[in-house]
Amino acid sequence: MHFHDCFVQGCDASVLIAGPSTERTAPPNLNLRGFEVIDDAKTQLEAACPGVVSCADILALAARDAVVLTNGPSWQVPTGRKDGRVSLASETTALPGFSESIEAQTKKFTDKGLNTQDLVTLTGGHTIGTTACQFFRYRLYNFTTAENGVDPSIDPAFIPQLRTLCPENGDGTKRIGLDNGSPNRFDTSYFTNLRNGRGILESDQMLWTNASTKAFVQRFLGVRGLQALNFNVEFGRSMVKMSNIGLKGKDGEIRKVCSCN
C-alpha cells in the first residue's frame, strides 16, 4: 500500500482517500488490503495526540512493521510527512503494471528518482502478500506470443499447480501467494522462484529474463562471481528512498480521518 501511495502524488496517503474516481477505485489498487488497519491506527493516534501523526507517516511505519512481523528486517523510518488532498484514479497509470516491460518499469522508477537496483529490490517485496488470478491467468491459457498459450518463461512443471489454483474460467478474484515458497515470510525465496521460472506475475519473471535486472537478482541470491547484495539491508535502504518521493510541504496537511480529504 505504501508503494502504491508513493508512486501517485508522492508519499501523501492519497491512496487512502475514499470516494468515486479516487486512486483506490482504480484497477491497480482494487486488490489492496489493510485500509481498516490504517484507520484503526489513526483513530488511536488521534485520541492520544490529535493532529500530530499524518496518515502518510502511518503508511510508511506500517509498511516497515509488516516486514518485521513477517521475520524481515527493520529500518529507521523518517517521519514528518504531510497528507495530500488530491486522489485521482486517472493518475494511477504512474504505477508499474503487471505485464509491462522492464524498460517501461525502469522509466517509471527513474521518473521517481529510483534506479534499476531499487526496482529489483522493491519488487522483492513480493516475497510476502498475494495477487489475484485475473492478473496472471493469461500466462497459463492464452499467452499471445506462444502457440500453446502458455508463457514460455514459466517452469513447465509449475503449470499444473497454477492451473489447479486458477482454472481458466474460475474466479478471477481468487488470491494466491506471490511467493510460492513462503508467502507469509520475508526472505529471498522470491528470487529463487524467479531463477526457477516460478514468478507469478509476468512483471516478476521479467526480472530474471531481462539482463539489466537479472544481475541484481543473482546478486541477491549470492551467485558466485558476482558481488553479493544483502536483501534485508538493501530493502530497507530502498524503502527509505521511496518513502521520500514527492513529499508535501505547506500544501499538505494532517488529516483527522485517513479516508477523507
Enumerate the active-site residues.
Answer: 4
Determine whether the annotation assigns residue 14 to a binding site: yes
Determine whether the annotation assigns residue 5 to a binding site: yes
Determine whether the annotation assigns residue 65 to a binding site: no
Determine whether the annotation assigns residue 118 to a binding site: no
Determine whether the annotation assigns residue 127 to a binding site: yes
Exposure of 185 in the CB half-sphere (CA atoms within 13 A): 6
Determine whether the annotation assigns residue 10 to a binding site: yes
Q: Rounded distance, CA 62 to CA 64, Å?
A: 5
Determine whether the annotation assigns residue 187 to a binding site: yes
Residues 56/218, Cβ–Cβ less than 8 Å: no
DSSP class of residue 145? T
Determine whether the annotation assigns residue 96 to a binding site: yes
Determine whether the annotation assigns residue 160 to a binding site: no
Cα-flanking dihedrals φ and ψ of residue 131, to 5°?
A: -135, 170
Among 97, 128, 129, smallest CA distance to 202 is for: 97
- The grid cell for 213 is 535486472
Residues 188/73, Cβ–Cβ less than 8 Å: no
Among 76, 54, 55, smallest CA distance to 65 is for: 76
Determine whether the annotation assigns residue 39 to a binding site: no
**CA torsion sign, 247 to 248 to 253 to 255?**
negative
Annotated binding site for Ca(2+): which residue ranges? 5, 8, 10, 12, 14, 23, 127, 179, 187
Annotated binding site for substrate: which residue ranges? 96
Annotated binding site for heme b: which residue ranges? 126
